[in-house]
Amino acid sequence: MKLAIIGVTGMVGQEMLRVLEEFKLPITELIPVASEKSVGKTIKFKGNDYKIVGLQTAVDEKPNIAIFSAGGATSLEWAPRFTQAGVTVIDNSSAWRMDKTKKLIVPEINAHILTKKDKIIANPNCSTIQMVMVLSPLHQLYKIKRVVVSTYQSISGTGVKAIKQLEQELKGEPADMVYPYPIHENCLPHCDTFLDNGYTKEEMKLTNETKKILDESINVTATAVRVPVSGGHSESVNIEFEKTPNVSKIREILHKTDGVILKDNPDTNTYPMPIYAKGKNEVFVGRIRKDESQQNSINLWIVADNIRKGAATNAVQIAQYVINNDLI
């Protein structure tokens, strides 16, 4: 079982190595891939040293699976080249997510739709993954009509340069600005670029990807905010159902949902926070309560490690499913 990681030196690529070790996938050979400036350097995996190679070398080695985390442009150019060599590609960028010929997968929800013919599999956006993990069982129970979500997204979603900006600001040093404004002691209602409709790309990803994964009939509107947190995305979610929801039943269902951890006890100040989610693979949910202003509606709060379940873990889980179900 040969597995390539494209973008292995990045934040998500490095996390993928850690998750792969934890999941104990039956990998006999790792092919680490990065940009030309990193070719020839070595990385460690399961106690062994592996030399970083370029993209064409990786294609020539014909891995069984290639996990991409190197940006949309790289995925668009190179994913087809890998598939032509018979490789199954799992892509973490936005390049293929809304392609009607590609499946958008959160393994706990819809991995069962994958077949051997699916050679490029799309990994959803980090903020989408954690939200649909909670929405999915509730949609099955009460049928969701509308979702209003506000996100509070970690700077790690922007990458290493954003973390460096915050660190420099905390030290009072001149910062290399990734964002148009300081992020220390600030919140930016600006994740990704603005579109003609006034929404950002991140906000529309929450809308479009949720529809593709769960149900085209679900209406989603989003506001995405960048906050000075180094790891973990949080979401305030208002959900309107067709049927009358029962909060106790919702807690019971979410408590039993694979990959979801219920933290919901106001009496003991128990609720999800990024500091609890950091380094964990699960999605945390709490603050579940009836919406007193609207019929058939509830509010809840969702938190997850955006580099883990929002990216690396979900991709590795797809690889695990593909391997276990002989879909290569």
Q: Which positions are catalytic?
A: 126, 233
C-alpha separations of 256 from 138, 161, 200, 236 in Å: 12, 38, 34, 21
What does DSSP assign to residue 18? H
CB atoms inside a 10 Å sphere around CB 195: 11
Helix then strand then coil, in percent of the chain rounded to 5, is: 35, 25, 40
DSSP string, 267-290: GGTB---HHHHTT-SSEEEEEEEE
Q: Which of 320, 318, 323 lies closest to 106 in space, CA to CA?
A: 318
Report whether 90 contacts 318 (CB < 8 A).
Answer: yes
User: Six-digit token pair at 192?
Assistant: 């990704």
3-class DSSP state of 92: coil
In sequence order, what E strands does 27-80 have?
A: 29-33, 42-45, 48-51, 65-68
Residue type, 308: R
